[in-house]
């Protein structure tokens, strides 16, 4: 049976080592812009929601920021702790929904390719609640776009997907221009923007908790050998959710296609998306209770 919904977010921990090796990071220019947009220079304290094995954590730390990471996967957390053992990095094992900040607030709430796993009924209000006045929420994702030979590979693998993965083949990705146009046309709400940037998130508006977001896009590309491409795909929830007797022949078939039809290498085009919104200054709780 294929696993549906946010339950897929629990699939990554058993493959934490592979996830750490295969998943791409994010452009350094994105983090430079994040510092400019937020005005965070020098010491600052960020809470990272769903750090995984630390693909984005290292970039936060490189900017001199202290990071408190919230990560529910034990194996993922162990790798992240190992990576940043000598740095101002603390990991607290929990889902963001269950995590207790203990009254702490932060300059930045940050999440890279993970915020869509947070319960839509909780995500925006809780993110706002852990931010200091004038703090920011920053969301990041890598969006695969059409072009490069990876798109041709998906077309070539359509029969394999039809045979082994009835719910996995989502069709060709959009072009870079289509992604940028859709983000530009979104309502000025970080929830609406994020429903486009990360479709698995669902379009739930953040509402009055946040100011209209600043949105930036960063196109880039990555070359993969056949084993590297399959290693990457095997870390995606769509494939992890398949039963092994479907997943394994599907991935083996894709690797064979790359070797036979693409000379053993494919290029994947990405657009990294950054959305940053400042929290609205909240009224004291005593005033809210009288409304």
Digit-coded pLDDT (tens) for 58-100: 999 999 999 999 999 999 999 999 999 999 999 999 999 999 9
- What mean pLDDT comes out for the span 227-234? 96
Helices 226-233, 244-261: inter-axial angle, 10-degree rounding: 150
Digit-coded pLDDT (tens) for 262-284: 999 999 999 999 999 999 855 43
User: How does 42-67 read in b/e, with b if 16+ C-beta sit within 10 Å?
Assistant: eebbbbbbbbbbbbbbbbbbeeebbb
d(CA 2, CA 167): 8
- What mean pLDDT comes out for the span 127-150? 96
- What mean pLDDT comes out for the span 174-195? 95
d(CA 102, CA 92): 12
Structure tokens at 60: 């936060």
- The structural domains of the chain, with segments of one domain joined by +, span 5-144+175-221+271-280
Lowest mean pLDDT among 51-60, 84-93, 143-152: 143-152
pLDDT > 90: percent of the chain: 80
Tell me, what's the pLDDT at 286?
A: 29
169 pLDDT exceeds 70?
A: no
- What mean pLDDT comes out for the span 93-119? 96
Which option is the CATH number for 5-144+175-221+271-280: 3.40.50.150, 1.10.1740.10, 3.40.50.300, 3.50.50.60?
A: 3.40.50.150
Tell me, what's the pLDDT at 172?
A: 78
Per-residue HEC secondary structure of 52-112 comes to CCCCCHHHHHHCCCEEEEECCCHHHHHHHHHHCCCCCEEEECCCCCCCCCCCCCEEEEEEE
User: CA quadruple 10, 14, 16, 19: dihedral positive or negative?
Assistant: negative
User: Average pLDDT over the chain, rounded to whole?
Assistant: 90
């Amino acid at each position: 049976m294929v696993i549906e919904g946010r339950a897929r977010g629990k699939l990554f921990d058993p493959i934490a080592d592979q996830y750490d090796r295969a998943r791409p990071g994010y452009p350094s220019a994105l983090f430079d812009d994040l510092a400019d947009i937020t005005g965070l220079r020098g010491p600052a304290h960020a809470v990272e929601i769903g750090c995984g094995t630390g693909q984005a954590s290292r970039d936060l730390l490189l900017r001199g920021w202290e990071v408190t990471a919230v990560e529910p996967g034990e194996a993922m957390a162990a790798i992240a702790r190992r990576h940043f053992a000598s740095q101002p990095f603390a990991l607290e094992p929990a889902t963001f929904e269950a995590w207790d900040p203990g009254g702490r607030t932060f300059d930045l709430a940050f999440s890279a390719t993970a915020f869509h796993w947070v319960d839509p009924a909780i995500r925006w209000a809780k993110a706002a609640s852990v931010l200091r006045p004038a703090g920011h929420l920053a969301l990041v994702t890598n969006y695969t776009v059409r072009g490069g030979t990876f798109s041709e590979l998906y077309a070539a693998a359509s029969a394999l997907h039809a045979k082994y993965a009835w719910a996995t083949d989502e069709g060709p990705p959009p072009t870079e221009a289509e992604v940028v146009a859709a983000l530009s046309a979104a309502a000025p709400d970080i929830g609406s923007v994020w429903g486009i940037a990360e479709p698995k998130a669902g379009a739930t508006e953040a509402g009055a908790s946040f100011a209209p977001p600043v949105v930036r896009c960063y196109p880039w590309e990555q070359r993969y050998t056949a084993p590297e491409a399959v290693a990457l795909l095997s870390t995606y929830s769509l494939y992890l959710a398949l039963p092994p007797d479907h997943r394994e022949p599907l991935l083996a078939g894709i690797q064979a296609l790359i070797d036979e039809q693409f000379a053993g290498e494919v290029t994947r085009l990405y657009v990294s998306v950054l959305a940053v919104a400042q929290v609205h200054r909240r009224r004291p709780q005593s005033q809210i209770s009288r409304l």
